[in-house]
C-alpha cells in the first residue's frame, strides 16, 4: 500500500494534469494567467529546491517516499510542453519567467535553464536509485510509469535545451524577443509611477525592455556552475539598469551577483534594500504582512553573496568577503548532519565544528577538514596564486615589428601613420587597431576588405617574427618566471595577439605558461576585462587570486575590470590606474607582485 503522502501527490498530479495551475480545490490560482499559469518554471524551482535539500541533508528516504515521483513528473511535463525545433534545439514556447513584466514569450532563459537541470537531475536520479536499491526502484517505476526509454530521452534532451547568448551584445538572451524591443522611457516616467503594474497597461510594459525583477541574473545566481565571470559581468551590466525592482524578490539576487563580481559596496546597498523592506516599508504594503520571501533573500544575500557559498564536488565551498563598513559576519550551517559556525572578519575566517560527524569543506578552493569539536582559522582575503602576463612590452618587445607591419599597410593605403598614432594601438586587438588607423581617412571598405587588410598586416608581422629568438626575452623575465615556478604560483598569458603561441615558441618560453588565452574566443578585447578573466579561469583560479601585468593603459583597465591586482610596466603617467607601476620588466619580482596584490586587496 502506498504511503498516504504519495497517494495524495498522485491525486494532485491527476487533478493538475486536467486543470493546470490549480489550487487543491480546483479554481484558478492566478486571476491573470500570463503571470500565473504560464510560469511553468515553478516546477523546476521545486525540483531544484528538492535537489538542494537532499544534497545538504543526505535524506534519500524523501526520494523513495515521493520526492523521486515529483522529479520524474516534472521532467515528463517539460518533455511534453517543449519540443525540438528545426534547428535541433529544445524550445519552450509561450511561457512567463520570473520577470512578470515580460509575459508569454518563447525560450525564457531562466525557465529553459531550470528545464535543463530538471532533465539532468531526473536522469541522474533514476540511475542512482536503480543502483541504490533495484527492487525499491522497480516500485517507483511501477507507480510513476517511468520507462528506461523515457529516462534516456530526458538525458538526450538536456544538452539540446536552447540557452543562447546574443552575438551582437554578448549578453545572455532573457528570451527570444526581449533584446529586440524598444527601451522603456526611463527619463519620461516619474518615480511616483512605480511600481509600473499599478500605473500602466500590461501591453505598454510587455513591449518594452523593462524588468520587474531579476530573471537572467536569478538563473545565474541559483545555477552558477556554468556561468563564467565574463558572462555574469556582461549580463549584470546589461540587465541591472533595466530592472525596476518592483518585486521584493529582486534586490537580493542583485546583491549576490554584485558580490560575486567583487563590487561589494553595490552588493551591500542591494542587501540593505532587501533587509529593510519591511522595517522601512519601502514597498508601502507592510500593513498586508511581512515579505517572507525577502527575508529568505536576506539570508541568501549574506550566505550566498558575502560568504560566497556554493556546492562544489558534493562539498560546501565558501569565498568570504566583507563590504567596507562591515567588520564581521557570522552564521551557522548544517551539512550532512554536521553543524559548523562560520565566523568572518576582515582578516580571518574561522570554522568551528559544533556538532555531528567530521566535515570537509572548501575555503577559497582549499580543502578544510574539520574533526568534531575542531576549529580552523584561515585568511579571509585572497592569496596570490596566479600571474597573467601581457606579451608585447612585458615578456618581449615586438612593438617595433607591429609598427613596421602597420606602417607598411598604411603606406599601401595612403593613410597617415606614425609612431605617435602607433601608441594608441598598444594592447588593442588587430581589427580594432585597423579601425583606429583608418579613422578620418575617408576610406569606405567592406567587411571582407577590412579582414583582408588585417590578414595582410598579420602575414607581414609573422614574416618579421622570423627575426625573433631566445635573446629577445626582456631582461628579468626568465628570472621572474623561475621565481614564480619555485613558489608554486601559476602563470598564464593574456595577449590580444593571435600569434602569441608562435612568439612564445620562438622565445623558448612555450612550456613556461600553464595557459595561453586564445583571442579568437574573446568577445571583446582590451580594455574589456574578458582576456584576463579567461586567463584566471584557465588556471582554475578566482580573479582576485591573480595579478595582471601590462604595459598599456587599455590593458591595465582590463586587469582592474577583471577584479585583479594590476601591475603596470612603463610610465606612471600612462599607467597610473595600476596598483603598482615599475619602470621595466627587470624590476618585476615576486615580492613586488605580492606588494601589488596586497594593495589591491588589503586585509
The DSSP string of 421-459 is HHHTTTT--HHHHHHHHHTTS-----HHHHHHHHHHHHH
Q: How far apart are CA 489 and CA 504, in angstroms?
A: 19
Q: How far apart are CA 122 and CA 75, in angstroms?
A: 7
Q: Is the pLDDT of residue 175 over 50?
A: yes
Q: Is the dihedral of CA 589, 591, 593, 599 positive or negative?
A: negative
Q: How far apart are CA 125 and CA 454, in angstroms?
A: 52
Is the bond preceding residue 527 a cis peptide, omega within 30 degrees? yes
Q: How far apart are CA 352 and CA 82, in angstroms?
A: 47
- The reported pLDDT for the residue numbered 554 is 93
**Residue of 28, 55, 65, 100 marked catalytic:** 100
Length reported for the chain: 603
Taking alpha carbons only, the member of 147, 116, 94 closest to residue 47 is 116
Q: Is the pLDDT of residue 5 over 70?
A: no
Instruction: Report whether 378 contacts 368 (CB < 8 A).
Output: yes
**pLDDT tens-place string over residues 384-401:** 999 999 998 899 988 778
User: How far is the CA of 319 from the CAs of 349, 382, 489, 550, in angstroms?
Assistant: 10, 9, 20, 27
| 547 strand-pairing partners | 387, 565
Q: How far apart are CA 578 and CA 558, in angstroms?
A: 10
The sheet with strand 328-335 has its strands ordered as 328-335, 338-345, 348-355, 375-379
Domains and their CATH numbers in the chain: 1-163 (1.50.10.10), 311-379 (2.60.420.10), 386-394+473-600 (3.40.50.1000), 399-465 (1.10.150.240)
- The reported pLDDT for the residue numbered 576 is 94
69-73, 349-353, 394-398: which has the minimum mean pLDDT?
Answer: 394-398
| Residues in CB range of 444: below 8 A, 6 or more apart | none
Q: How far apart are CA 262 and CA 543, in angstroms?
A: 10
Instruction: Note if 100 is an active site residue.
Output: yes
Strands (E), 476-516: 490-493, 515-516
Q: How far apart are CA 492 and CA 519, in angstroms?
A: 13
Strands 348-355 and 338-345: antiparallel
- The reported pLDDT for the residue numbered 4 is 54
Is the bond preceding residue 195 a cis peptide, omega within 30 degrees? yes
Cell numbers for 91, please give them. 524550445
Q: Is the pLDDT of residue 35 over 80?
A: no
Judge if pTM exceeds 0.85: yes
What is the DSSP secondary structure assignment for residue 117, as one 8-state letter?
H
**pLDDT tens-place string over residues 211-261:** 999 999 999 999 999 999 999 999 999 999 999 999 999 999 999 999 999
CA Rg, the chain, in Å?
A: 27
Determine the distance from the C-alpha atom of residue 83 to the mean position of all C-alpha atoms in its chain, rounded to a whole number: 28
7-16, 49-58, 507-516: which has the minimum mean pLDDT?
Answer: 7-16
Q: How far apart are CA 249 and CA 233, in angstroms?
A: 20
Q: How far apart are CA 306 and CA 592, in angstroms?
A: 29
CB-CB neighbours of 377 under 10 Å: 13
Amino acid at each position: 500500500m502506498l504511503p498516504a503522502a504519495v497517494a495524495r501527490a498522485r491525486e494532485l498530479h491527476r487533478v493538475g494534469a486536467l486543470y493546470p495551475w490549480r489550487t487543491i480545490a480546483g479554481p484558478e490560482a492566478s486571476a491573470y494567467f500570463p503571470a500565473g499559469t504560464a510560469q511553468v518554471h515553478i516546477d523546476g524551482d521545486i525540483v531544484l529546491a528538492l535537489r538542494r535539500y537532499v544534497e545538504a541533508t543526505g535524506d534519500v528516504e524523501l526520494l523513495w517516499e515521493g520526492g523521486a515521483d515529483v522529479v520524474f513528473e516534472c521532467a515528463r511535463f517539460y518533455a511534453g510542453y517543449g519540443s525540438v525545433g528545426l534547428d535541433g534545439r529544445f524550445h519552450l514556447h509561450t511561457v512567463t519567467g520570473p520577470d512578470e513584466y515580460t509575459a508569454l514569450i518563447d525560450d525564457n532563459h531562466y525557465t529553459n535553464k531550470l528545464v535543463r537541470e530538471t532533465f539532468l537531475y531526473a536522469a541522474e536520479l533514476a540511475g542512482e536509485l536503480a543502483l541504490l536499491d533495484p527492487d525499491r526502484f522497480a516500485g517507483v517505476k511501477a507507480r510513476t510509469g517511468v520507462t528506461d526509454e523515457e529516462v534516456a530521452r530526458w538525458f538526450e534532451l538536456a544538452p539540446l535545451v536552447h540557452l543562447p547568448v546574443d552575438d551582437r551584445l554578448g549578453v545572455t538572451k532573457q528570451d527570444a524577443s526581449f533584446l529586440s524591443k524598444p527601451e522603456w522611457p526611463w527619463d519620461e516616467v516619474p518615480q511616483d509611477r512605480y511600481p509600473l503594474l499599478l500605473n500602466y497597461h500590461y501591453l505598454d510594459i510587455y513591449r518594452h525592455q523593462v524588468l520587474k525583477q531579476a530573471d537572467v541574473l536569478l538563473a545565474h545566481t541559483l545555477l552558477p556552475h556554468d556561468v563564467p565571470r565574463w558572462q555574469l559581468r556582461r549580463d549584470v551590466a546589461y540587465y541591472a539598469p533595466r530592472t525596476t525592482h518592483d518585486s521584493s524578490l529582486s534586490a537580493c539576487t542583485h546583491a549576490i551577483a554584485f558580490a560575486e563580481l567583487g563590487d561589494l559596496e553595490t552588493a551591500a546597498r542591494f542587501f540593505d534594500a532587501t533587509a529593510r523592506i519591511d522595517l522601512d516599508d519601502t514597498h508601502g504594503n507592510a500593513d498586508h504582512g511581512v515579505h517572507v520571501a525577502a527575508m529568505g533573500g536576506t539570508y541568501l544575500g549574506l550566505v550566498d553573496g558575502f560568504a560566497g557559498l556554493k556546492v562544489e564536488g558534493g562539498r560546501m565551498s565558501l569565498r568570504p568577503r566583507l563590504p567596507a563598513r562591515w567588520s564581521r559576519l557570522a552564521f551557522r550551517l548544517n551539512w550532512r548532519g554536521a553543524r559548523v559556525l562560520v565566523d568572518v572578519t576582515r582578516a580571518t575566517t574561522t570554522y568551528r565544528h559544533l556538532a555531528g560527524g567530521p566535515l570537509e569543506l572548501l575555503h577559497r578552493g582549499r580543502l578544510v577538514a574539520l574533526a568534531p569539536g575542531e576549529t580552523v582559522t584561515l585568511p579571509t582575503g585572497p592569496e596570490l596564486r596566479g600571474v597573467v602576463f601581457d606579451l608585447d612590452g612585458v615578456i618581449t618587445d615586438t612593438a617595433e615589428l607591429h609598427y613596421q607591419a602597420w606602417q607598411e599597410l598604411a603606406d599601401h593605403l595612403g593613410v597617415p601613420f606614425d609612431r605617435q598614432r602607433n601608441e594608441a594601438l598598444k594592447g588593442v586587438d588587430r581589427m580594432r587597431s585597423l579601425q583606429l588607423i583608418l579613422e578620418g581617412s575617408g576610406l569606405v571598405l567592406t567587411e571582407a576588405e577590412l579582414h583582408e587588410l588585417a590578414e595582410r598586416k598579420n602575414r607581414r608581422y609573422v614574416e618579421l617574427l622570423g627575426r625573433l629568438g631566445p635573446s629577445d626575452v626582456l631582461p628579468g623575465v626568465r628570472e621572474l618566471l623561475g621565481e614564480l615556478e619555485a613558489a608554486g604560483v601559476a602563470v598564464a598569458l593574456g595577449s590580444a595577439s593571435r600569434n602569441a603561441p608562435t612568439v612564445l615558441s620562438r622565445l623558448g618560453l612555450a612550456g613556461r605558461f600553464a595557459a595561453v588565452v586564445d583571442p579568437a574566443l574573446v568577445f571583446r578585447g582590451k580594455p574589456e576585462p574578458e582576456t584576463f578573466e579567461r586567463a584566471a579561469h584557465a588556471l582554475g583560479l578566482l580573479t582576485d587570486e591573480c595579478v595582471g601585468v601590462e604595459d598599456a593603459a587599455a590593458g591595465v583597465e582590463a586587469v582592474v575590470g577583471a577584479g585583479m591586482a594590476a601591475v603596470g610596466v612603463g610610465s606612471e603617467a600612462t599607467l597610473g590606474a595600476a596598483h603598482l607601476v615599475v619602470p621595466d620588466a627587470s624590476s618585476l619580482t615576486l615580492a613586488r607582485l605580492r606588494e601589488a596584490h596586497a594593495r589591491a586587496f588589503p586585509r
